[in-house]
Structure formats: C-alpha cells, structure tokens
C-alpha cells in the first residue's frame, strides 16, 4: 500500500466514521469532557483547600515571653539558641513597642482602653515559627519543653487547642481528598472506558467483517486511533472550557472569603494542555483496548 494513500485512507475513513457514527461520537466526547471537568474541578478545589490549610499551618507559632530586665546582649544570644532548637523555622523578636503597636492595631475600636495606660506593661517576646514537619501537638510540646528550660524565659503561649484542631483538620482533609480522589478516578476511568468500549462495540460487526476480508490489524486500528485522538482532543477542550466557565461563574457568585477556593492554581494554557493530553489518552487507550478483542477472528 502506498504510504500516502494509506494515510489518506486513514483520514478519509476516520472522517467518514465520525460522520456515520455522529451520535456515538458526540456521546463519547461529552462523556470525556464532563468526566475530565468533574475530576479537574475536584483537583482544583483540593489543591486550593490544601493551600489554605498550609497557610493556616504557617500561623502556628510559639510566643516566648521574656522576663523583664533582660540585658540587650542576652536577647541576641537567646535568639540564636532558640533558632538552633530542632523544629524551629524562624524566630522574630518583638520589642515592647512593637507589641504595643500590634495591640493598638488589634484593638482599633477600643482606643480609650489603651489611652488609660500610663506605662507599657507588655513584655519582650519572640515569635517562634514552627517547621512544617513539627506541626503536631506532641512535637510542639517537645519544642516548648526545650524552650522553657532556657534562662530569661518567663512564659510561653502556643494555642494548644488550635494546634490540635489544625492537626485533626489536616488529617481529615488529607483522608477525604484521598478517598474521594480514588473514587472519582475509578469512576471517571470506568465511565470513559465503558463509553469508548460501547462505541467500539457498536461497530463490532464492521471490525470483524473488515478483518475477514483480509485487513491487517494496523489497517483496522488506524481509523480508530485517529477517532480516539479527535474525541479526546475535543473532549479535552470541552472540559477546559467547562472548568474556565465554571470558575468564572463561581468567582462572580461566591463570597470573597471563599474566592481562594475557586482560584486557578495553574495557567489556563497549562490546564488546556493537561486536559487535552488526558482526553486523548482516554480516547486512544480506550479504543485500542476495546478493539483488541475483536481482532482475534
């Protein structure tokens, strides 16, 4: 077979098949499109929730209050010691003035209360940021036990309840994402592969007859390959369109505090490429696998 003629045949046959099996092609495209869109939307929300939780985690810190009268050179030395404790990411020094300013900022509507203060009663302190791998109750307790032994340390505050809640939430979100993600992946693969399989089944006799009159497997598979690429390509574009549209509609309608949950973590072009590749893989792999069983005659 002349190579150019073969390619021409494959393309013409694919166009003819897409035209002749219009409804099946549309159903396959819509299934691929919606399945990918649902899965991607889930991924998008999961990624955004993880990002938010990660940001919350960054707020986990231990505030170390220092005794009054600590010499200035001791502050620097203490800071160095705290920085070297396992699990400590960063140590910020908060002077009495800075502490007062922060308090003023936080008590904006109660200016009168602060005005009544003659002296600055707030102590010197360090805000100790905890490393990501140490954000659990036990590990923070270990850091606190190390810090409280230090000279000039008066008191400590680390919001034990908050850390415990955070650890619980993190565990739940991780588990939820994993379980739903697995279910959704299985469902999407099952739905798409079955739709593609049914589309191939609908042409079972055509495949068998073509094989019976001497067509090679490559000859039979080629148009299905092209059709799989076409369906996956259009399905991928459709999914990308649905997601971008969905995100746009949601971002216009959800309250501002939830906006970051529907933010796009990747560029639209990257999203489109990813979805098109996923769509084509579904279309082609599904077709080829389903086709295999009819090529044994």
Partner 1 sequence: MINVETSSGGHSTPLQPSLRKWISIAPFVLDRKCSAWDNEAKWLPLSGEICKKSFLKFARYLYPTVICLLMIQLYHVYKSYEGSSAALSDITFTIAKGEFVFLTGPSGAGKTTLLKIVFGIERPTEGQIIVDGRNQSRINNRGVSLLRRKVGFVFQDFKLLPKKTVYENVALALEVIGVSPGEVRSKVQRILSYVGLRHRANFKPLSLSGGEQQRVAIARALVKQPAILLADEPTGNLDPELANSIVELFRDVNAMGTTVLMATHDKTLIERFGRRRIALDRGRIIG
- Interacting residues with partner 1 (CB under 8 A): 1-2, 5-6, 9, 20, 205-206, 208-217, 219, 295, 297
154/208 with CB nearer partner 1: 208
Name which of 212 and 269 has its Cβ closer to partner 1: 212
Radius of gyration of the chain (CA): 31
Closer by beta carbon to partner 1, 152 or else 219: 219
Distance CA 73, CA 55 (A): 34
User: What SS3 class is residue 171?
Assistant: helix
Please give the Cα distance from 196 to 279 (Å, whole number): 12
Decide whether 214 or 255 has the Cβ nearer to partner 1: 214
How large is the greatest C-alpha to C-alpha distance in the chain, in angstroms?
102
Which residue do the tokens 């490393």 mark?
Answer: 131
Q: CB 221 → partner 1: shortest distance, Å?
A: 12
3-state secondary structure of 89: strand
Q: How far apart are CA 127 and CA 61, in angstroms?
A: 6
- With b for 16 or more beta-carbon neighbours within 10 A and e for fewer, the 184-216 pattern comes to beeebeebbbebbbebbeebeeebeebbeeeee
- What angle do helix axes 137-147 and 160-201 make, rounded to 10 degrees? 150
Give 213 or 256: the residue with its C-beta nearer to partner 1: 213
């Amino acid at each position: 077979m002349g190579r150019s003629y073969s390619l021409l045949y494959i393309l013409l046959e694919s166009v003819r098949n897409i035209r002749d099996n219009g409804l099946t092609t549309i159903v396959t495209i819509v299934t691929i499109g919606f399945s990918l869109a649902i899965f991607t939307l889930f991924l998008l929300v999961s990624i955004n929730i993880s990002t938010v939780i990660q940001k919350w985690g960054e707020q986990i810190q231990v505030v170390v209050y220092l005794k009054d009268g600590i010499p200035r050179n001791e502050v620097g030395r203490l800071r160095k010691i705290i920085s070297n404790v396992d699990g400590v990411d960063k140590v910020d020094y908060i002077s009495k003035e800075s502490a007062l300013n922060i308090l003023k900022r936080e008590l904006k509507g109660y200016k009168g209360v602060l005005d009544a203060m003659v002296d600055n009663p707030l102590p010197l302190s360090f805000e100790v940021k905890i490393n990501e791998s140490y954000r659990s109750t036990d590990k923070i307790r270990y850091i606190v036990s190390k810090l409280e032994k230090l000279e000039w340390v008066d008191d400590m505050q680390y919001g034990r309840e908050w850390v415990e809640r955070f650890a619980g939430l993190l565990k739940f979100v991780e588990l939820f994402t994993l379980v739903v993600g697995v279910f959704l992946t299985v469902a999407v693969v099952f739905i798409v592969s079955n739709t593609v399989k049914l589309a191939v089944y609908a042409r079972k006799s055509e495949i068998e007859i073509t094989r019976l009159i001497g067509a090679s497997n490559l000859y039979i598979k080629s148009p299905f390959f092209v059709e799989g690429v076409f369906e996956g390509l259009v399905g991928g574009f459709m999914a990308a369109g649905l997601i971008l549209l969905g995100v746009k509609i949601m971002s216009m309608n959800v309250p501002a505090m939830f906006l970051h949950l529907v933010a796009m973590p990747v560029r639209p072009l990257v999203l489109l490429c990813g979805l098109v590749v996923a769509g084509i893989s579904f279309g082609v792999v599904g077709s080829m696998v389903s086709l295999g069983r009819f090529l044994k005659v």
